[in-house]
Amino acid sequence: MGNTQSSSDSTLTSNPLDKVKNRYSRADLKSPFKAAFGGSSRHNGKGRTGSNEAPSAGSATPAAAASAVAVAVAVGASSSQESSDYSRPIYETAPPLPPRPPSEMPVTVPCQYRTGKTLGSGTYAIVKEAIHIQTGKYYACKVINKRLMEGREHMVRNEIAVLKRVSSGHPNVVTLHDYFETAHNLYLCFDLCTGGELFDRICAKGNYYESDAATLVRTIFKAVKYIHDSGIVHRDLKPENLLFRTQAEDADIMIADFGLSRVMEEEKLNQLTEICGTPGYMAPEIFKKIGHGKPVDVWAMGVITYFLLAGYTPFDRDSQQQEMEAIIAGDYKFEPAEYWQNVTETAKDFVRTCLTVDPAKRPTAAAAMTHKWLATPETNFVLDQTGAPADLLPNVKKAFNAKQLWRKAASTIKAVNRMAILAQADPNLVKMREDLNMYKEESAKENLENVDITYQEGAAAAKKTDDISAEGNDDLTSKLARASLDVKDKAVEAGADK
């Protein structure tokens, strides 16, 4: 912001709500990145992190961010009420900033990326496959329509601030390689993970032993410890956010989706109070709204471990209300017995330890890794009738498949009920849902071949990777990039992405 604002903008800052209420023309949509970049010198005078050598174009400080983007459940918006710099809306009038040098001014350049097929869709964003046409590297690109972010700009700034802290610092944590914007959309470029989700990989194996589960949990816990040591709480750990980098047998497993994560400085002794996450993996203190922090990730790891050992989660109930009550009470059992007969008591004790209801008594990520089950995973097994370690896969797949059938039936009933409700719903709510889908479809259709992109940090950072000049911007290069995306898709489909 600061002196980069136009005179037309300055006439509106006296009434910040006008900017939120009025719909902008496409050319006037504001950047949620701008406040983060413009405020960096005011807070600590530091530039971007030096740990990430990949293309980067921002210098947002971690303190310039807020809640979440494009994730499943974020119930309540109390995060915007917290007393921190990044909770202030981007449109709120800020103290005047000193003039910024030319190297820190926003810069617009031709785009170096070409996007391919859509990989998935979240609440506010879609994820597309992308390729950088100079380097030939593939990325997963989160695309967010600016119209959907009006009034929620802090969510994007928070995710970027979190990812700048953890990117490139651990092999089992996804990296944010680049972020920029066009006139209509925001783009965040991450590692492209083509190896599939955790549980899909397990079900595709020929066998699966308790020691395999322990090794997986230990690897994930190491990454969780790194995230916590970086001053971050993830808040949405679940199997769907644990992805394999490639389809290779020894591929790294990656923690992804930091949309609900928050920066939590230990010295501030702050606690988060909003209700957010995926219900079956949320800790009791989140529902109680008594304040929560890093222990919620340890609780989620306990749920994940239970799931990896049995194929279903410990607090499965017929309704979300019953599920919430069971979580608050810590009401779960290792039943039915047939699913747990081949699981050691050491494993069950580890689950109990992580699912300690009192967060003050719950172990830290570092302490959890010292538990016997993780410290010596090769000794954890129950012998089957042949005297060999028991294979958990048959029971795990049986339980998982049964639960999937139940969820499919429940989803059908919910869909019918939802249609009946929508038929009688407030027309404004129906219009809101239609607009949401329309804006996401618009984002999916944007062709980066024909647009310029803006980096808010300035020309110096952008030109390191995106000053593509005449010889890098011809039709042949774009055609080769599109051809490479097609080759990548075929390799993944054929299972040849190693």
Phi, psi (5° rounding) for residue 343? -110, 135
Is 142 labelled as part of a ligand binding site? Answer: yes
- What's the CA dihedral at 168, 459, 35, 180 to 10 degrees? -60
How would residue 430 be classed by pLDDT, with cut points 50, 70 and 90?
low
The CA distance from 298 to 370, in Å, is: 13
Q: How confident is the model over 113-125, as a mean pLDDT?
A: 86
- Predicted confidence at residue 315, as pLDDT, reads 96
In this prediction, residues 231-236 reach a mean pLDDT of 95
Q: Is the pLDDT of residue 292 over 80?
A: yes
Coil/strand/helix, residue 108 = strand
Residues in a beta bridge with 110: 452
Question: What is the per-residue pLDDT for 271?
Answer: 75
* Domain residue ranges of the chain, discontinuous segments joined by +: 2-193+444-493, 198-410
Query: Quick one: what percent of the chain has pLDDT higher than 90?
Result: 38
CA 68 to chain centre: 8
Question: pLDDT tier at 489 (50, 70, 90 boundaries)?
Answer: low
pLDDT at site 39:
40
Single-letter code of the amino acid located at 55: P
Report pLDDT for 50.
36
Q: What is the pLDDT of residues 67-105, one digit of tens each?
A: 333 333 333 333 333 433 333 443 344 466 677 666 566
Q: What is the gyration radius of the CA atoms in the chain, in angstroms?
A: 24
Taking the C-alpha atoms of residue 308 and residue 303, their distance in angstroms, rounded to an integer, is 9
Average pLDDT over residues 442-462: 65
Q: Please report the pLDDT score of residue 23 as a whole number.
A: 41
pLDDT, position 32? 60
* Better pLDDT: 206 or 58: 206
What average pLDDT does this structure show over 179-204?
90
Q: Which residues contact 448 (CB under 8 A, 6 or more apart)?
A: 111, 113, 114, 115, 130, 182
pLDDT class of 62 with cuts at 50, 70, 90: very low
Cβ–Cβ under 8 Å, residues 313 and 280: yes
End-to-end CA distance of the chain: 45
Picking from 364, 188, 355, 330, the residue whose alpha carbon sits closest to that of residue 259 is 188
Strands 185-191 and 232-233 come out as unpaired
Q: Which two tokens stand for residue 312?
A: 């279903």
* Residue 7 CA: distances (Å) to CA of 11, 34, 100, 152: 7, 17, 17, 24
Q: How far is CA 293 from CA 231, 264, 359, 448, 492, in A?
A: 10, 8, 9, 39, 38
Query: What pLDDT is stored for residue 434 in this prediction?
Result: 67
pLDDT at 264 over 50: yes
At 122, the pLDDT band (50, 70, 90 cuts) reads: confident
Token pair for residue 477? 């290069």
Q: What's the rounded mean pLDDT across residues 332-354? A: 95
85-99, 158-172, 229-243, 304-318: range with lowest mean pLDDT: 85-99
Q: What is the pLDDT of residue 432?
A: 62
CA-closest candidate to residue 463, choices 136, 31, 57, 185: 57
C-beta separation of 260 from 156 below 8 A: no
**Which of 67-76, 212-221, 381-390 has the weakest average pLDDT?**
67-76
Q: What's the CATH fold of domain 2-193+444-493?
A: Phosphorylase Kinase; domain 1 (3.30.200)
Q: Which residues of 74-88 are buried (b: 16+ CB within 10 A; e: fewer)?
A: beeeebbeeebbbbb
For the chain, the 3-state helix, strand and coil shares in percent, each to the nearest 5, are 45, 15, 40
Separation between Cα atoms, residue 308 and residue 312, nearest integer Å: 8
CATH architecture type of domain 198-410: Orthogonal Bundle (1.10)
Task: Write out the catalytic residue numbers.
Answer: 236
Computed over every residue of the chain, the mean pLDDT equals 74
pLDDT confidence tier of residue 151, bands split at 50, 70 and 90: confident
Rounded to the nearest 10 degrees, the angle between the axes of helix 295-310 and helix 210-229 is 160
**Segment among 259-268, 359-368, 416-425 with least mean pLDDT:** 416-425
Establish whether domains 2-193+444-493 and 198-410 are of one fold: no
* Listed ranges 276-280, 348-352, 388-392; the one with the highest mean pLDDT: 348-352
pLDDT of residue 410 exceeding 80: no
- Cα 112 to the center of its chain, rounded Å: 24
Least confident residue range of 65-69, 166-170, 250-254: 65-69
Contact 304, 220 (CB under 8 A): yes
Q: Who has greater pLDDT, 68 or 453?
A: 453
From CA 24, how far away is CA 8, in angstroms rounded?
A: 13
Are 125 and 69 in contact by the 8 Å Cβ rule? The answer is yes
Give me the residues paired with residue 170 across strands: none
